[in-house]
Amino acid sequence: MIGYGFMGAAHSQGWRVAPRFFDLPADPTMAVVVGRNPDAVSAAARKWGWDEAATDWREVIARDDIDVVDIVTPGDTHAEIAIAALEAGKHVLCEKPLANSVAEAEAMTDAAARAAEKGVRSMVGFTYRRVPAATFARDLVAAGRLGEIRQVRAAYRQDWLMDAEAPLTWRMQKDRAGSGSLGDIGAHAIDLSEYITGLRLGSVSGILDTIVAERPLLAEGVGLSGTASSERGAVTVDDIALFAGRYGGSGTGYAPLGTFEATRFATGRKNALTVEVSGSLGAIAFNLERMNELEFYDAMLPATEQGFRTILVTEHDHPYLAPWWPPGHMLGYEHGFSHQVVDFVTAIADGSQPEPSFADGLHIQRVLDAVERSSQDGSAWTSTD
Ligand code: SOE
């Protein structure tokens, strides 16, 4: 695993726990965690149970005993590491968004296609697809329970930047993160809406804004938090992104519209990734802050009995639930990372293409890019091609 911030902790938990609850077709060994600061990466290795710590990722991907490379670094290093790892014949799991630009994502997707010819697999970490209630929403749509999809409403709302004195971390720097709320969390809303509906955005119209333009520089710390210094620096990314999109049709029907919000200034919303899909026969509503539940509206019931009902998605027959706890005992944020490991390791063992693929990640990158272009030009509709 390369990187050891917040996502490093989440992925470590996934690698550690997945083989203990699921019968995996291969037994992953947590061999080595890589980071630039030797003391900090050694501490991370001890804490999360990696056998070794190292400071040079190139040396690690050259090792014969390494089969899989998990990239949890900021976006500006994804392309270089992923391409080198794929060329070295390692299966790659890369955190979202795939890259910081369409050009990088294209190069990564080309490298993934070349590697796939040799049986080397790659996947992007849009982990919320693996929250059972979200997967179940997709299953209901795929089974036709919503009928023809007519409208989507997706949002990812957080509030961790509402304090104007919160320090400027890499997530607020364009050269490190690519974009702000748009790529960091808007990418999840796009991916989840497309995953649940099975549709893809073909054009968008949006606007980005930066609410707090300058922040104290980071004195110490990593990830989402850290200590502020007395100097200030410019925030070079968006704090809020709002856009509308038109999905390509399913081939048989109407091409629905969707609205999207990505913000780190939604006061009181901590991690509210929400997707609501309205169809001719029913509707679903998912909210990550209520992640064990799915709201389902069945328009086929008599009008007198209709109404959104809340399904507790914890039955053993629900997606991913079989090896976990008895019904009603609830899963959490971290379980999605175990499910991601299960699907990735299973695809490697089967020789199948895990999803979301790098090509899927490239598509999301194109949507992000189209939203940014639309915001810059003020153009009404911008193609995602
Ligand atoms: C910070 O906004 C963050 O950690 C994102 O980077 C993750 O992708 C999201 O899942 C939770 O919030």
CATH numbers and ranges of domains, the chain: 6-125 (3.40.50.720), 131-331 (3.30.360.10)
Residue 267 is predicted with a pLDDT of: 98
Contact 24, 345 (CB under 8 A): yes
Any atom of ligand 1 within 6 Å of the Cβ of 10 = no
Residue 354's pLDDT is what? 98
Interval between CA 307 and ligand 1 midpoint (Å): 32
184 Cβ closer than 6 Å to some ligand 1 atom: yes
| Under-50 pLDDT residues of the chain | none
Q: Which amino acid is at 199?
A: L
Q: Is the CB of 54 under 6 A from ligand 1?
A: no
Distance from C-alpha of 191 to C-alpha of 196, rounded to nearest angstrom = 9
What's the pLDDT at 368?
Answer: 98
3-state helix/strand/coil string of the chain: CECCCHHHHHHHHHHHHHHHHCCCCCCCCCCEEECCCHHHHHHHHHHHCCCEEECCHHHHHCCCCCCEEEECCCHHHHHHHHHHHHHCCCEEEEECCCCCCHHHHHHHHHHHHHHHCCCCCEEEECHHHHCHHHHHHHHHHHCCCCCCEEEEEEEEECCCCCCCCCCECHHHCHHHHCCCHHHHHHHHHHHHHHHHHCCCEEEEEEEEECCCCEEEEEEECCCCCCEEEEEEEECCCCCEEEEEEEECCCCCCCCCEEEEEEECCCCCCCCEEEEEEEECCEEEEEEHHHCCEEEEEECCCCHHHCCCEEEECCCCCCCCCCCCCCCCCCCCCCHHHHHHHHHHHHHHHHCCCCCCCHHHHHHHHHHHHHHHHHHHHCCCCEECC
- Residue 185 Cβ inside 6 Å of ligand 1? The answer reads yes
127 C-alpha vs ligand 1 centroid, how far in Å?
11
- For ligand 1, the distance from its centroid to the CA atom of residue 184, given in whole angstroms, is 6
CA distances from 312 to 79, 138, 361 (A): 39, 16, 30
pTM for this predicted structure: 0.96
228 forms beta bridges with 218
Using the mean position of ligand 1's atoms as its centre, give its distance from the Cα of residue 97 in Å: 10
Could you tell me the two tokens for 155? Answer: 């949002």
How far apart (Å, rounded) are the C-alpha atoms in residues 101 and 110?
Answer: 14
Q: Quickly tell me which residue has 């070349």 as its tokens.
A: 114
Contact in structure between 368 and 179 (CB atoms under 8 Å)? yes
Question: Ligand 1 centre from 273 Cα, in Å?
Answer: 10
Q: How far apart are the first and last CA of the chain?
A: 33
Ligand 1 atom closest to Cα of 127?
A: 10
- Alpha carbons 36 and 5: distance in angstroms, whole number: 12
The rounded distance, in Å, linking the Cα atoms of 155 and 274 is: 5
Q: How far apart are CA 329 and CA 314, in angstroms?
A: 7
Ligand 1 touching residue 6 (CB < 6 A): yes
Pocket test for ligand 1, best of 184, 224, 275, 288 (most atoms within 8 A of CB): 184
Strands 91-95 and 68-71, by their bridges, are parallel
- Pocket test of ligand 1: the residue of 185, 264, 364 to mutate, having most ligand atoms within 8 Å of its CB, is 185
Q: What is the pLDDT of residue 221?
A: 61
Alpha-carbon span 34 to 42, nearest angstrom: 9
Atom 10 of ligand 1, residue of closest alpha carbon = 185
Atom number in ligand 1 closest to CA 158: 2
**Residue in 53, 66, 50 with CA at minimum distance from that of residue 15:** 50
